[in-house]
Structure 1
Amino acid sequence: MNENKLIADLLLPDINTSPDYYENIYPKRVLPEGAMVTRFAPSPTGFLHLGSLFAAFIYERLAHQSGGTFYLRIEDTDKKREVQGSTSEIIRGLKTYNISFDEDASYGPHIQSQRENIYKAYVKLLLEKGLAYPCFCTPQELEALRKLQEDKKVNTGYYGAWAKHRNIALKEINQNLKEGKNYVIRLKSPGSPDKRIIFNDLIKGKIEMPENVQDIVILKTDGLPTYHFAHAVDDHLMRTTHVVRGEEWLSSTPIHLQLFDVLGFERPEYAHIPTLMKMDGTSKRKLSKRKDPELAFSYYEEQGYLPRAVIEYLLHIINSNYEDWRKENPLRPYTDFKIDINKISASGAIFDLNKLTAISKDIIALMKSSDIYELYLKWCEWYDTEMAAFLKANPNYCMQIFNIERNSEKPRKDIGKWSDVREDIFFFFDDLYYSKDGDYNFPKALSKYDIQEILSGYINVYCESDSKEMWFNKLKAFGETLGYSTSVKNFKKNPSAYKGHIGDVAMVLRIALTKKSATPDLYEMIKVLGTERLTERLGFASRLI
C-alpha cells in the first residue's frame, strides 16, 4: 500500500464509501435539451435581503423558463456564524415573492451539514492521489508566515515553498497526531504563478485571470468542508449546469474551476450578475446594509410594497426590454416574459425606489377594489391595527372608497404602497377626520365671509341623485351666483370682475370635507361620504373659521 493511501486511511478511517458510489446515486439529470439546473445557496448567517432576492429570482426564472430545475441548498458549514431561524426566514421570503424551488429529493440532502461523509469521500480520494495533505500550522504560525511574506514583499498565503506541510511524510503526520495537534486538510494546488485561466462568463464575456496557486483549506478542523470545496462537490453531484451568482464571487472562480478539474468534474457554466447600486448625489455606490434600509427584505413588508411590484421592478433591472414587453402585455403574468441572460447588464444595476413605487402604482391601479381592500387590511393587521379596525367595521363602505376613479380607461394611480394609504383616506372615517390636527388651509385669496358663504350655501345645492354632469353644472351655477367665474380661462381674462373661479369653490369644499387640498375626484368622493357627512363637515368647518 502506498504512503498516500496510508495517509488517507489514517486521517479518514471511517470513510469507506468511494466517490463512485455517489456518482451512481446522483446520476446526470434527464432534462430537455437546453434546460438549466440552477440553485440558490444561501448561508443561514442572516436574513433575506434585496441582493439575494434579486439573485434568487434570476436563478429561478432561468431554470423554470428553460424546463429545468431550480433547487435550494443551505450552506451551513460555518456553524460559528449561523443565525437561529434564518433558514426558515429565507424560505418564507422566497415564498412571499413567489420564487418556488423544486423539491429535488433525489439529489438531497440539500443542507450541507448533512452531507459531511460525501465531502470526506472526495477529500479522501484527493489524499490517496497525493492531491491533498494535512496541515498542522497553528494560527500563530500562519500569522508569522504572513508577516514574513509582507517583509519580503511577496504574495501572501500558503503556497509553493511557503507551504510548510506540502510534502509532509506519514511519520511526521503520525507524530503530530500523537501530540494531539489540530489540523486541516489542504488542496495541493497544481497552479502556477506564470499561468492564467481563460473562461467565458455568460454575462461578462471572456475573462482572463491568474491561475490559483494557493493550497486552500478544503476540510476544516471540525470535519466540515470549506465553502469552496463543498461548492464544487455539491454543484457536481446535484448536476448544476449553470452557476449564476453575484459578481463578488468572480475572484473565486479560479479556485472553483481548479477544484472541478482536480476532482475530474465537468465544469458548469458561470454567470456573474451585477451588484445592485444606487445613486448617491451624482455618483453610484453599492447598496449598503448600514446606510440603506431598502436593502433589507423586511423594509418592503413594513412599507407595504406588493411582492409582485418588487419582482416586476427587478425584471426592469434584469432585462431593459421588459418595460416594452409589459406595455404591450399589461395583463399577462410576468412569468410569460423570458429572461435573456445575454441581455443582463454586466455593470452595476441602479436600484431606484421611485421607479419601484411608480411600477407598484401601475399594478394597483388595475386591481379590483375588493382585492385592494383585502390586501390593505392584511397589511394593516400587522402594521396599523387602528386602521384595520376601521376597515373591518364597514367593508362595503371601504370598498366604495377604493373604487373611486377605478372604473375608467385611466384609473387613478394614487396607491404605491400600503403605508401611504392612511394619509390618503383618513378623512373618510369620522374619528380620524375630527381628530386630525391642523387648520383648514383654505385659499388665501378668499375672505372668511367668502368661505363661510360657500360652505353654508352649498348644503342647499347638493343632491345625492345628481349625475356627475348635473352635479358640476349646479356647482358652476352656485359659484356664479356668489360671484365666481365658471371657467378659469374667463377669470384670467378679467380677474377683477370675479371673486375667483369655479376651482376656488371646489377647493373650499374639498378642504372642508377632507382637510386636504389634494384628493380623489370631488364628485365621487362626496358620493361615498354621503349627504349626512357632507352637511356635518361643512357646518363644522364653517364654525371653526
Structure 2
Amino acid sequence: MTNEEFAELLFPDIKHTPDYYEEKYPQRDLPDKAEVTRIGPSPTGFIHLGNLYSAMAGERLAHRSGGVFYLRIEDTDNKRKVEGAVESVISSLDYFNIQFDEGAEVDRQAGKVNYGPFYQRQRAEIYQTYVKDLVKRGLAYPCFCSEEELNAIRNEQSEEKVNDIGYYGKYAKCRNLSMEEAAERIKNGEPYSMRLRSQGIPGNTFKFKDEIMGEVSLPENIMDVVILKSDGIPTYHFAHAVDDHLMRTTTVIRGCEWLPSVPIHVELFNVLGFRRPKYAHTAQLMKIEDGKKRKLSKRKDPELSLGYYRELGYHPEAVRVYLLTILNSNFEEWYQKNPGVPIEEFKFSLNKMGVSGILFDLQKLDDISSNIISAKDREEVYEYFLKWMKQYKPESVPVYFGDPDKMGRIMDLCMGVGQKRRRKDFINCSQMFDFLSYFFDDIFTPEYEFGKYENMTEIIAEFKNTYDPNDDNQTWFNKLKAVADKFGYASDMKAYKAEPDKYKGNVSHIAEIIRVAVTGRKNTPDLWTIMQILGNDSCMKRLDKASEFLGR
C-alpha cells in the first residue's frame, strides 16, 4: 500500500488539496510592515484579565501598524464548551472597547477576502486536508491506543524515571505499524486519532527570537503529538498552526504559559511548510500577598475575572489606561505629558513590555479610575452610573434616579463641577452606589462615628433652632460659628491655634458634629450644599435621629 492509497483510505471524503486553501486564503493586501494579530479564546465561559492584557497588546500592535486584529473562537474541546460563553466573551471584550476588524460574530471583514469561518469546529475539512497531505508525505499516522494503554505508557515512563513523559520513540506503540495492519484495524472499526510523526532528535535544541523575551533556547519536539482527534476535530496545537497560517497571522501574542508549546508549534509549521509567525509571550500577572509576589489565580483572586470589573462598574477607559501602564514601560510618562490626547495615539511596541512577573495593583487602578471619572462631563458619568444601576441594582434605580434633577445636583457636588479643582470622590459604580446612599432617606442607615466632643446634643438642638434653608452659604456658616461661641468652641481658627487649651474645640468640630448627624459620615463634600439637596424636612428628621442616638 502506498502513502497515497493509505491517505485515501483515511480521508475518502477530502477532495481538496492544500493548494486549494492557499489560493482561497491568499496573503493579505496590507501596507508594508502591517501586523495581523488575533485573540483566540475558548468558549469556556471564563475570560480573564490575562486575555484582555494580550488582546490589548494585539489590538494596539495591529492598529498602530495599519494591520488587522481578528477574533477566533478555539472550540476544538467540545467537552469544555459552556452555553452562552461566546456571547459572554464578545460582550466582555466589547465592554473594554477591544475593536475587531473581523472574526467570529463580527459583522464585517477587513478586506475583500473572508478568512473565516472563525470557529475552529467549522473548519474541520480544512484541517483534515492538511493531515491527509501529511499522511501522503509519511509525516502523520493513525494511533489506536486507548486511554488505558496511554496511561500504562505514562506509568512505565514514571517507573523508568525518564525525563520526557509522552508518546515518542519506543513508547510510540503505533508509530511503526505497517499501513496494511493499520488499514485492517480501520476496516474493523477500531477508533483512532491521528498523530504527527515527529522529526525531532532527542537532545537537540533550537533558538528562536521571542518578540518580548528575546532569544530563547528550547529542546526540539520529539513527541508524536495528536493532531486530529477521533471525531475528526484537531487538537489546539494543529488548529493553531493551520489557522494562523491561512488567516495570515504575523504575530501571536499570548501568555508565557504557552512557551513550552513552542517546540510543537515550530515543528508543525516546519512539516506543514508554513512560514512561522513571530511569537510574543507576555509575562505573568502577579500580586503581592504577605510581602511576596505570586501569580494571580482563578481560584483565589476574583480580580482575575473580567466580570469582576464589570460588576463593580469600573469605567472601561480606566481599565484600558491601567493595563497600558503595565503593558508598556513608557506609557505612563507619555500619558501624563499628553492629557486629553486619545490613548490610541500612543506608540505601543512589544519591546517595551516586561519580561518578568508584572505586578497588578488594584490601588493604582483605583487612582487612575478616580482621575478619569473626575475629568469627564457630569452627563457622561450620570448615564454611565444609570446604565450600571439598571444592570446590577435595578431595584434601586427608582430611589437614586427617581428625581433626575436631584441626582444631577448630587453629581455636580461630588464631582466638583464648577469648582477650580474637580473632586475625585468616585472610583467605580459600586463605590458610587455606597458613597451616595446617604442622600436618600429611603435607604439612609447611618453608622454614627461622633468624635468625643462636649455638648453634642445641645449643639445639634441649637443648630436646628437657628437653621434656615433659605440662608446662603456664608450666613449658614456664620450661624455655625455662633453655635461654636455659645458652647465654648472657638469660632476663630487663629484664636484657637494661638490658645487651643482655652476652648473645647473649634468651629470645624461643630461642623463635624452636624455633618455626622446629617450624613452619618465624617467626610463628605460641602455640607451646606448637601443640606440644600436633602431639603429642610429631611435635615430636621436626621438631626432629631442623631440627637436620639446621642441621648441613649
Shorter-chain TM-score above 0.5 = yes
Aligned to 2:105: none
Amino acid in structure 1 at the alignment position of 2:454? L
Please list, as runs of the form range in 1=range in 2, the aligned pairs for 1:195-214 lying within 5 A after superposition: 195-214=204-223
What is the CA-CA distance between 1:38 and the residue it aligns to? 0.4
CA contact (8 A) 2:463 2:480 kept: no
Is structure 2 residue 534 aligned with structure 1 residue 525? no
Q: Deviations over 1:305-347 (max 9, x none)?
A: 1122111111111113222222222222222223221010011
1-side partners of 2:72 and 2:336: how far apart? 36
2-side partners of 1:533 and 1:320: how far apart? 51
Is structure 2 residue 386 aligned with structure 1 residue 377? yes
Aligned to 2:518: 513
Give SS of 1:445's match. Answer: coil
What is the CA-CA distance between 1:489 and the residue it aligns to? 4.7
Q: For the structure 1 residues 299 and 16, does the alpha-carbon distance in structure 2 shift closer, same or farther, using more than 3 Å as the test?
A: same
1-side partners of 2:216 and 2:189: how far apart? 45
Indicate the larger mover: 20-29 or 423-432: 423-432
Q: For the structure 1 residues 265 and 189, does the alpha-carbon distance in structure 2 shift closer, same or farther, using more than 3 Å as the test?
A: same
Q: Deviations over 1:443-476 (max 9, x none)?
A: 322224542454235415x643x3x556545543
CA contact (8 A) 1:459 1:535 kept: no
Aligned length, in residue pairs: 538
Aligned to 1:40: 39
Is structure 2 residue 410 aligned with structure 1 residue 410? no
What is the CA-CA distance between 1:386 and the residue it aligns to? 4.1
Aligned to 2:80: 81
CA contact (8 A) 2:463 2:483 kept: no
TM-score with structure 2 length normalisation? Answer: 0.93
Amino acid in structure 1 at the alignment position of 2:64? Q
What is the CA-CA distance between 1:136 and the residue it aligns to? 1.7
Aligned to 1:250: 259
Is structure 2 residue 441 aligned with structure 1 residue 430? yes
1-side partners of 2:349 and 2:288: how far apart? 26
What is the CA-CA distance between 1:533 and the residue it aligns to? 4.0
Please list, as runs of the form range in 1=range in 2, the aligned pairs for 1:60-459 lying within 5 A after superposition: 60-103=59-102, 104=109, 106-154=114-162, 155-404=164-413, 405-433=416-444, 436=445, 438=447, 440-448=448-456, 450-452=458-460, 454-459=462-467
Aligned to 1:498: 503
Amino acid in structure 2 at the alignment position of 1:495? P
1-side partners of 2:502 and 2:230: how far apart? 92
What is the CA-CA distance between 1:392 and the residue it aligns to? 2.8
What is the CA-CA distance between 1:375 and the residue it aligns to? 1.5
What is the CA-CA distance between 1:48 and the residue it aligns to? 1.6
Unaligned stretches of 5+ in structure 2? 103-108
Q: For the structure 1 residues 171 and 536, does the alpha-carbon distance in structure 2 shift closer, same or farther, using more than 3 Å as the test?
A: closer
What is the CA-CA distance between 1:89 and the residue it aligns to? 0.9
What is the CA-CA distance between 1:168 and the residue it aligns to? 2.3
1-side partners of 2:542 and 2:200: how far apart? 81
Give SS of 1:107's match. Answer: coil
Aligned to 1:14: 13
Amino acid in structure 1 at the alignment position of 2:422? P
What is the CA-CA distance between 1:143 and the residue it aligns to? 2.0
Q: For the structure 1 residues 125 and 499, does the alpha-carbon distance in structure 2 shift closer, same or farther, using more than 3 Å as the test?
A: same
CA contact (8 A) 1:455 1:539 kept: no
2-side partners of 1:222 and 1:141: how far apart? 19
2-side partners of 1:458 and 1:58: how far apart? 61
Q: For the structure 1 residues 149 and 532, does the alpha-carbon distance in structure 2 shift closer, same or farther, using more than 3 Å as the test?
A: closer
TM-score with structure 1 length normalisation? Answer: 0.94
Q: Deviations over 1:222-245 (max 9, x none)?
A: 111111111101000000000111
CA contact (8 A) 2:460 2:514 kept: no
Aligned to 1:26: 25
What is the CA-CA distance between 1:108 and the residue it aligns to? 0.7
What is the CA-CA distance between 1:528 and the residue it aligns to? 2.6
Indicate the larger mover: 386-395 or 529-538: 529-538
What is the CA-CA distance between 1:59 and the residue it aligns to? 1.1
2-side partners of 1:540 and 1:140: how far apart? 73
What is the CA-CA distance between 1:69 and the residue it aligns to? 0.3
2-side partners of 1:448 and 1:502: how far apart? 13
Indicate the larger mover: 315-324 or 469-478: 469-478
CA contact (8 A) 2:205 2:220 kept: yes
Amino acid in structure 2 at the alignment position of 1:511? V
Indicate the larger mover: 241-250 or 157-166: 157-166
2-side partners of 1:450 and 1:123: how far apart? 88
CA contact (8 A) 1:454 1:508 kept: no
